[in-house]
Amino acid sequence: MSKIKEANVLVTGGGNGIGKQMGLKCLQDGCANLVIWDINKDNLDKTKKDFSNRGFKNVHTFLVDVSDIDDVEKAGTEVLLEIGNIDILINNAGIVAGTKSFWDYTAKDIDRTVDINIKGVMYVTRVFIKEMLKQKKGHVVNIVSASAYLGLPKGSVYASSKWGAMGWSESLRLELEREEGDLHVTAVCPSYIDTGMFKGVKAPLLFPLLEPENTAERIIKAVKSNQVHLLLPDTLNLVPVLKGIFSPKIFDVVADWLGVYTSMNSFEGRAEKERIPESKKQKSK
């Protein structure tokens, strides 16, 4: 059982939304240190101030672009030297590069999505995984997506990045299970969460918008119990079963009827200025 109490926890994309909520839950559960990485300095500063006002002083914030290997390695080295080994790593940072048919995506859209949603997760984990192996203890939590189980019209680049992240997460889990020690991987696959990231989406039938605080609580509970997969809402567990029972064409009819395949049609998402910092090299402590 992974313990939050007295653990060093790092959350990427922890400056707002579900990342901030997970960080708060870890603080409330008594983590030794909470390390927050985010690409938006304003969000970092506001979150640290909010947590400080709640009485939590053991919060360390770093301005990091997880798709930039230099950023990741520099910040990772500072964390290891100044704070110590990370016991629980929550890979939460991610983006959705708009809603359009695949042929309308630019190469920049594709690169940015893959760089953050796949490469970024690997970059960050690579920095801390060897120390976890040395101490024979550690937990990697990957916030993936329900789209790792489904095709997503108008979101093919996002969905493909999450399929890739899921494949990597599963492979890492199997590798760690062959090593000696208390080493775990949890893959979290939520449907749409009611944050700015998915502004404008229309929640499908049976898969209502997830409330951030409750979702964070479910995730932390899954970490504590070393749960391998967490699909949210619970009805999402029907998807792998239905895909196994029905032919692809019949499943498509069902998914379309539920509104899954049209859920991104009204997507707005966050404004670009909310995601990109003025300077990636400035760090807040």
Kindly report the CATH number assigned to the domain that includes residue 105.
Answer: 3.40.50.720
- Sorting pLDDT into bands at 50, 70 and 90, what band is 269? low
- The residue segments making up the domain with residue 155 are 8-275
Long-range contacts formed by 256-262: CB under 8 A, 24+ apart:
257/205, 258/204, 258/205, 258/206, 258/207, 259/202, 259/203, 259/204, 259/205, 260/150, 260/204, 260/207, 261/151, 261/152, 261/153, 262/153, 262/202
Query: Is residue 123 one of the residues assigned to a domain?
Result: yes
How many domains, the chain? Answer: 1
281 in any annotated domain? no
Assess whether pLDDT exceeds 90 at residue 208.
Answer: no
Please tell me the distance from the alpha carbon of residue 261 to that of residue 204, in angstroms, as a whole number.
9
pLDDT at 41 over 60: yes
Q: Over 90: is that where the pLDDT of 11 sits? A: yes
Segment 107-136 mean pLDDT: 97
| Domain presence at residue 131 | yes
Instruction: For residue 195, tell me if it sits in a domain.
Output: yes
Of 149, 158, 192, 261, which one is the catalytic site residue? 158
Give yes or no for residue 198 having a pLDDT over 70: no
Q: Known catalytic residue: 149?
A: no
State the pLDDT at residue 219: 98
**Position 282 in a domain:** no
Residue 143 is encoded by which pair of tokens?
């916030």
Above 60 in pLDDT, residue 282?
no
Torsion of CA 24, 209, 194, 124, to 10 degrees: 60
Residue 284 within any structural domain of the chain? no
Query: What count of other Cβ atoms lies within 10 Å of the Cβ of residue 5?
Result: 10
**What mean pLDDT, rounded, does the chain reach?**
91
Is 84 a member of any domain?
A: yes
Is 10's pLDDT higher than 60? yes
pLDDT at site 283: 44
The pLDDT, as a whole number, for residue 85 is: 97
Question: Residue 113 has what pLDDT?
Answer: 96
80 assigned to some structural domain: yes
